Amino acid sequence: MTVREIRLYGDPVLRTVCDPILEIDAKVKALVEDLVDTTKLPGRAGVAAPQIGVSLRAFSYNIDGKVGYLINPEIVELGGDKVLVDEGCLSVPGLWHKTPRYETARAVGIDLDGNQVEVSGSGLMAQAIQHECDHLDGVVYLGRLEGDERKQAMKNLRDTDWFLN
């Protein structure tokens, strides 16, 4: 089991649009294993590759005891209303803010055998799909915040003991 260290907000890899995975090789298999192992720790709903320092399009999830992953995920459907949900991020430890997210989401990608896989859901699963796909596009959830919520988040960020201003 390889649990990888989580990169913190401010690390350039978190603002980088990730490259697609073009070939399933031993390195990609090891990446997926590390993502899954890192996500299995208690209190973790998902981890995207850039959060462990790898700028490739893959993420893992752990929602309601269901652990899985997607390689080269693409959100193909967002549904319901856009609602404000309490959201946090392993790369922004200790901060939770009301983030606009769609109520349902569906993403497609591939597995390690190259087969197409679909992940969909509502609630926390929908939130995780949107959150992790954002990471792959170089977006941390703080970038989704609006108005006073964003201002408060930036203040809270500056007040943390881990963020270097």
Q: Which residues are catalytic?
A: 132
Contact between 59 and 46 (Cβ < 8 Å): yes
- CA 81, distance to chain mean position in Å, is 21
Contact between 129 and 121 (Cβ < 8 Å): yes
DSSP 40-85: TSTT--EEEGGGGT--BSEEEEEETTEEEEEEEEEEEEEEEEEEEE
For tokens 């959060």, what's the residue?
A: 51
Contact between 91 and 140 (Cβ < 8 Å): yes
Tokens of 36: 């899954």
> Which of these, 41, 50, 61, lies nearest to 134 by C-alpha position?
50
